[in-house]
Amino acid sequence: MAHKPDSELTPGQLERRQYHRAWRAVHKEHVAEYRHGKYLEQKDARSKYSEQYYQEHRQQYIERARDYRKKNAAVLRAYWRQRKTGCTQEQYDALYAAQDGKCALCGDSTPGRFVGNGKAQDFCADHDHETGRIRGLLCGNCNAGIGHLQDNSTLLRKAADYLDRFKT
């Protein structure tokens, strides 16, 4: 509810407003307690209304979210990459340039991970899970391989030896 500015009030209205402001300033705890009580009283009704509104407009919410994700795909990927691995977009771009747009492990120029529309996503920012240090950019397959071997170099060497043993 919008209130009139003080300049538009009559002298009696202005005096009443000033009295109430002063009273609320002195009784802050009482006001906060009252507002919290009102909040709790109305919480179920607000929740029920929100759920009902969402159900009535569900398709619009879904379409709006889909459109947003489509328009902001690169920004969202950068956000989640930084949140998961700590790799900023600037770090990613620098590594990508340093690696000539190729996987640091296999040298493939295809990221190897695909989203639902069949387009390749960015390379994975490989990072040390203990220190958080970014090691490089990997294609999806190399990143999955290292991940499945739990970032354990001994296990990785054993896997390489195993493969070499059965080479024909």
- The tens digit of pLDDT for each residue in 53-101 reads 999 999 999 999 999 999 998 899 899 999 989 999 999 999 999 999 9
| Helix or strand (DSSP H, E) at 154 | helix 153-165
Neighbour-count burial for 62-81, b at 16+ CB within 10 Å, e otherwise: eeeeeeeeeeeeeeeebeeb
Q: What is the pTM of this model?
A: 0.60
pLDDT score of 117 more than 80: no
d(CA 112, CA 71): 22
pLDDT score of 116 more than 80: no
* Torsion sign (Cα): 54, 57, 59, 60: negative
Query: Based on the number of CB atoms within 10 Å of its own CB, is 137 exposed (0-12), middle (13-18) or buried (19 or more)?
Result: buried
Beta strands in the chain (DSSP E): 124-127, 134-138
- Kindly give the interhelix angle for 73-85 and 58-71, rounded to the nearest 10 degrees: 80
Q: How confident is the model at residue 130 (pLDDT cuts 50, 70, 90)?
A: confident
Q: Give residue 6's Cα distance to chain centre.
A: 43
Q: Give residue 75's Cα distance to chain centre.
A: 10
